[in-house]
Amino acid sequence: MPELPEVEVVRRGLRPLSGTRIDGVEVLDERAITRHAAGAADFERRLTGALLGEPARRGKFLWVPLSRAGGAPTPSPEAMLIHLGMSGQLRLDDAPRSHRHERVRLILGERVLVFTDQRTFGSLAVDPLRPDGVDAVPSQVAHIARDPLDPGFDDRAFLRRLRAKRTEVKRALLDQTLVSGIGNIYADEALWGARVHPRQPADRLSAPAATRLLGEVRLVMERALAEGGTSFDRLYVNVNGESGYFSRSLRAYAQDGRPCGRCGTPLVREAFTNRASHFCPRCQRVR
């Protein structure tokens, strides 16, 4: 599933569309708008004629504020909400062309923005915006915590809540109500960097270890952003159809059997819910 760096890469790819008018909308598969309860006709009506604003993101959620041409009033501020799910993609084309697994098509003058989704877990919606401090977020995102790259992220509050959690530290990192945007890949990478075992009880983390872990979360996300995100297959690409190459820089995730980059001990893979954790049994011990 695309995590914060991949969603941020897509957000940046959409920025040049700010101020663009949506001339037409086609919902080709209603499974792609499951988050829009009013259905396809309402979704198409509310987007057609709208102007796209500056795209925003919180964790794995992406949205584009909407306005009307000529400053025409809208009943309430709203946005096009986007969740990529496991395989959702937004593809921007200079001319109409067909894509496999095409679900929704937005006509933007001579350009076309297409939402494709092989596994159909992603979804689009038109959602009202709600105040959240100095920001406005879609109502469906209001319960999601800020992410570590958000300027409004409160380090002290996060560290306090993390160290109060009576659960494994990796499970806490994946809790989107505590901190958003961290998925399985970047949790493993950050834990390796901080020398913290995935099953370390969060409430037994020392203050220095928790602070070091937060620093590693930021560092690995910034590195992934610089390399365009992580692509293991063609399920994640940016709006131009290009893959990220952070998979070449992974130090823990999917590296089981390979020597640890610090001590040379073979990395191991351990079942974790319906996924897996990857770590060094020597460098990352339960304290």
- Catalytic residue, chosen from 3, 44, 168, 216, is 3
In the chain, what is the straight-line distance between the N-terminal and C-terminal CA atoms, in Å?
30
Among the options 60, 146, 163, 195, which is catalytic? 60
What Å distances lie between residue 147 and 55, 77, 154, 174, CA to CA? 16, 23, 9, 11
Annotated catalytic residue 26? no
In the residue annotation, 275 being an active-site residue is answered as yes
Instruction: Establish whether 216 is a catalytic residue.
Output: no
CA distance 64 to 51: 10
The Cα-based distances of 41 to 20, 25, 29, 58, 148 in angstroms read 22, 10, 12, 28, 37
Residue type (1 letter), 100: R
**What is the distance between the alpha carbons of residues 144 and 175, in angstroms, rounded to a whole number?**
9
Burial class (CB in 10 A: 0-12, 13-18, 19+), 127: buried
165 labelled catalytic: no
**What φ, ψ does residue 18 adopt, rounded to 5°?**
-55, 130
Amino acid, single-letter form, for residue 186: Y
Q: Which of 2, 5, 148, 198 is catalytic?
A: 2
Of the residues 35, 165, 275, 282, only one is catalytic, namely 275
Active site residues: 2-3, 60, 275
